[in-house]
Structure 1
């Protein structure tokens, strides 16, 4: 009833020629629109004249404000309410894919308009059209869209300069407290990028939060492939802050089982980034007996697992992930409830658009609490984690350090493995690991084990960036308060595992009584806590500083 009343009201409004007034105001606004920043950018321009672009935009605005379009907007909301998992802005009937930069700029300008006499309807409709346009653009044109958003809709610097001058003037003039507080408020508001209004309006749309995540995913992919670009990097940080403020504190933890909605399980299969889920039989094993899968969901997109963790319930700390992933009959191999002593976190994945937002930390802590409530017998919470940066780091270290990365005994051992090859010990080592010859040669396999394990210990414990662990997975768990427990030779014998880390995996233990102290020491001075059970780790710890052995 409410929706029908609103639609009827809007139809009446436009039948009384209000539409022409709004369109006139929008056109006037865009004719006098100026750039919001001083960035210069070289977006490819098509040979479309200003008049043609203006006519195209006016025609599009008029079509968008037809009563049918308004009713369609409300029907979209109704459709999303009933079938949120199937909602898309750029549906099969949508033909909007105009990549003309001037058109995009005008469309966004209307979307971020905050004129009180025009209300929220037009900006909301135009924001939806922006989303529809974006979804129908190809990869290259999406980046054009984001560049326009980053360059032309950032901080309005002239407003910042005026607000700053005003604030400094008040400070020098001994103004009263009320005037200074008001000036501070104006300055804070001036510092907010215009695209924040755009993000807020998108977030109010059906599936808007997910759309923001997808935009950031596109941004991150472009920045990874093309390197740092100041305006887009700033847009990425702005979007990261917006998503963090929207999500953190408003998430719901759910356990996924074989009886959970297929849409959610399907997305787990799609997003899983650590150990790919091959098919539905594999998915069934991941949520079956002796396994747990927990995920955080957000109220607006209840079918989308934002970040999820997979757990194996075992008698002891596992040293090989294939034991978990490829168990043909987990029902037989799992221990009785009273014999479950360990919870092994073997995979944690977040959606790409949420990269850098610390949801995994909250997820692990919540899951530990859930498992403690379900299994009072659990004594150990441990991970079986990949070491994704090891192979690349070692190749680079060999190129930079040469033979100094190995000791004399290791150099002689490596040279003896390939006497027919000329070159230094590290050059032969690089040849072996790049060609994968060591995997197929039994002698190489056994001789290289202690060398690669020692170098792996160095990589995890010693190699730092800004005083934090260089390996991203190590940094994640150590920062969360875990200690490094054990390195596992042939922990992952999949192609991915052998390529990334020579098959080595690592256990990080979450010792509940030590988590807070470990976290504080690591963030304070880079100190890493290790267990005394692995001699390789202990030997490396003795050669370096800021390592605590427990």
Structure 2
């Protein structure tokens, strides 16, 4: 085996092992001792004790621990002010290092030392997930989240991520997580999953991190088709006839799921889509079109807020819904798109390609968007232009979608 392969296997085989025994010291005392520890073995043992103790805590105890980190492990403003004064007086390397040290809260070093334990990265991701739950009621903890997110962005930057295809032959422990994490179109059974992975015109790709080799960070499900689809049932029905990949001209990203709540705000989707497009283009060079078939999760709520109502007896619903959806997705001049999925794809340089009614008749599809779905088109030659337009407050859209939005301005209530 090559040296590189041996190194990679060593990284991927890292598993968390707990401390050798319990410790009666309070967790804040353990944290202070970890920051003061002077040798690696003591650091690792203290870090394990903290991680083990945290894992046994209830929500109230975790809130107290987070408050300790936020209030007692922050920046010493007096020390920072003195360091800044010394640096302003003499901008040498010694004063610069002292300024940088004073500007960093001790809790960042605490998290780094915790992360030195093999397998601890996943536990810190889970810890941030817990933190995000409580910051809604305790906004003072947001500064703690800022520090932890800063570190996770470094640890989970694109250079560390590994793209892996997910197939029916993928180990069962990973497939179970694909079922669990699917956030767009629920996977109800192993047979459901098989129909998304086994046919020759289906693909799935996921990003993994070497410190969490069995837990996907984000994954995308892809259908190879002829033409751009307008309904999710066309892709998910078990009675459809599979298409040979060589006959496909379109790749459809029909589900993108983020898997780790603790990595919220750390974006992988842009890199994932770009790399999957490259992988598919190499495998199937005849592919010409790369689109999504996406939900519009905020549409129904926005319609209710605008006083726009539809009833099952509304004979004009099929004509009105595309207009309403186009106006919602494009928004007002100079404003960011309201819809979170639209913000994601438009922010990656896609354009709104088409809008379809009766495209998702599942319970969630009817509840979120009255069954409407949208295609976002990824054209590599237009991405830079689309992003420039978005920055100027003009989301990219096809002529058809722009026309629908103009019709809505004339025919729909404001």
Normalising by the residue count of structure 2, what TM-score does the alignment of the two structures yield?
Answer: 0.88
State how 1:222-237 maps to structure 2 within 5 Å: 222-224=134-136, 226=137, 229-230=139-140, 232-237=141-146
Which of structures 1 and 2 has the bigger CA Rg?
Answer: 1
Residue in 2 that maps onto 1:158: 78
Using the TM superposition, give the Cα deviation of residue 135 of structure 1 relative to its aligned residue in structure 2, in angstroms: 1.0
Residue in 1 that maps onto 2:7: none
Residue in 2 that maps onto 1:107: 30
Task: Look up the SS of the partner of 2:168 in the other structure.
Answer: coil
Residue in 1 that maps onto 2:362: 494
Distance 2:198 2:46 in 1: 46
State how 1:37-48 maps to structure 2 within 5 Å: none
Unaligned runs of 5+ in 2: 1-9
Residue in 1 that maps onto 2:109: 197
Using the TM superposition, give the Cα deviation of residue 364 of structure 1 relative to its aligned residue in structure 2, in angstroms: 0.4
Which whole-Å deviations, capped at 9, do the CAs of 1:16-68 have from their partners, x for residues lacking one? xxxxxxxxxxxxxxxxxxxxxxxxxxxxxxxxxxxxxxxxxxxxxxxxxxxxx
State how 1:412-451 maps to structure 2 within 5 Å: 429=309, 438=311, 441=312, 443-444=313-314, 446-451=315-320
State how 1:102-181 maps to structure 2 within 5 Å: 103-114=26-37, 118-168=38-88, 170=89, 175=90, 179-181=91-93
State how 1:101-500 maps to structure 2 within 5 Å: 103-114=26-37, 118-168=38-88, 170=89, 175=90, 179-224=91-136, 226=137, 229-230=139-140, 232-248=141-157, 249-289=159-199, 290-325=201-236, 327-330=237-240, 333-350=241-258, 351-398=260-307, 429=309, 438=311, 441=312, 443-444=313-314, 446-463=315-332, 467-500=335-368
Using the TM superposition, give the Cα deviation of residue 89 of structure 1 relative to its aligned residue in structure 2, in angstroms: 4.9
Residue in 1 that maps onto 2:6: none
Distance 1:454 1:363 in 2: 31
Distance 1:256 1:370 in 2: 13
Using the TM superposition, give the Cα deviation of residue 141 of structure 1 relative to its aligned residue in structure 2, in angstroms: 2.3
Task: Look up the SS of the partner of 2:36 in the other structure.
Answer: coil
Residue in 2 that maps onto 1:527: 394
Using the TM superposition, give the Cα deviation of residue 487 of structure 1 relative to its aligned residue in structure 2, in angstroms: 1.1
Distance 1:125 1:454 in 2: 61
User: Do 2:389 and 2:396's aligned partners in 1 also have CA atoms closer than 8 Å?
Assistant: no
Residue-pair matches, total: 398
User: Do 2:11 and 2:210's aligned partners in 1 also have CA atoms closer than 8 Å?
Assistant: no
Using the TM superposition, give the Cα deviation of residue 397 of structure 1 relative to its aligned residue in structure 2, in angstroms: 3.2
Q: Which of 507, 514, 520 lines up with 2:375 in the alignment?
A: 507
Structure 1 residues 81 and 527: CA distance shift in structure 2, 3 A: closer
Task: Look up the SS of the partner of 2:92 in the other structure.
Answer: helix
Normalising by the residue count of structure 1, what TM-score does the alignment of the two structures yield?
Answer: 0.67
User: Do 1:462 and 1:469's aligned partners in 2 also have CA atoms closer than 8 Å?
Assistant: yes
Distance 2:85 2:14 in 1: 52
Structure 1 residues 88 and 140: CA distance shift in structure 2, 3 A: farther
Distance 2:250 2:360 in 1: 19
Which whole-Å deviations, capped at 9, do the CAs of 1:485-535 have from their partners, x for residues lacking one? 111112211111111111111110001110122123323x12211112447
Distance 2:43 2:93 in 1: 31
Unaligned runs of 5+ in 1: 1-78, 399-425, 433-437, 544-550
User: Do 2:292 and 2:375's aligned partners in 1 also have CA atoms closer than 8 Å?
Assistant: yes
* Larger RCO: 1 or 2 (CA < 8 Å, sep 6+): 2
Task: Look up the SS of the partner of 1:112 in the other structure.
Answer: helix
Distance 2:351 2:21 in 1: 52
Using the TM superposition, give the Cα deviation of residue 219 of structure 1 relative to its aligned residue in structure 2, in angstroms: 1.8
Distance 2:28 2:377 in 1: 51
State how 1:41-80 maps to structure 2 within 5 Å: none
Distance 1:214 1:94 in 2: 23
Task: Look up the SS of the partner of 1:469 in the other structure.
Answer: coil
Task: Look up the SS of the partner of 1:213 in the other structure.
Answer: helix
